[in-house]
């Protein structure tokens, strides 16, 4: 067993998780607040805006992560100039798989107040 590869893989996995989590919270929290504020019982109800963002979030939440990897392959390849082989290639699909969940959690948490 090669422990150098194990530590490298562990480091890359933790780094990938931390970067994706940070990006998901940076986008998900404001989006969740926006959904809460523009809801029917929000501070500034705006049905069209809430509907558009709500549909986008619901669609992204319903797509499995493996399918998002395939769907976002062209975007990933255009951003990173490679589609496979590097740990950072998974940042974009993981981000798109995680920020809708964060925004929906924030929206539901704010709706309880």
Q: Delimit the domains of the chain by residue range.
A: 3-111
Looking at residue 29, its pLDDT comes to 97
* In this structure, CATH architecture of domain 3-111: Orthogonal Bundle (1.10)
| Residue pLDDT, tens place only, 58-104 | 999 999 988 988 999 999 999 998 878 888 999 999 999 999 999 99
The pLDDT of 47-67, averaged and rounded, is 93
pTM score over 0.85 = yes
Looking at residue 69, its pLDDT comes to 87
Coil, strand, or helix at residue 83?
A: coil
DSSP string, 21-77: HHHHHHHHHHHHHHHHHTSTTSSS--HHHHHHHHHHHHHHHHS-HHHHHHHTHHHHH
Of all residues in the chain, what percent carry a pLDDT higher than 90? Answer: 76
């Amino acid at each position: 067993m090669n422990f150098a590869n194990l530590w490298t893989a562990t480091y890359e996995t933790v780094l990938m998780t931390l970067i994706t989590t940070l990006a998901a919270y940076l986008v998900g929290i404001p989006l969740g607040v926006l959904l809460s504020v523009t809801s029917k019982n929000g501070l500034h109800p705006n049905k069209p805006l809430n509907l558009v963002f709500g549909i986008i979030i619901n669609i992204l939440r319903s797509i499995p992560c493996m399918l998002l990897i395939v769907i976002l392959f062209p975007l990933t390849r255009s951003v990173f100039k490679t589609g496979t082989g590097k740990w950072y290639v998974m940042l974009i699909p993981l981000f798109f798989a995680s920020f809708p969940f964060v925004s929906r959690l924030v929206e539901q948490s704010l709706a309880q107040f």
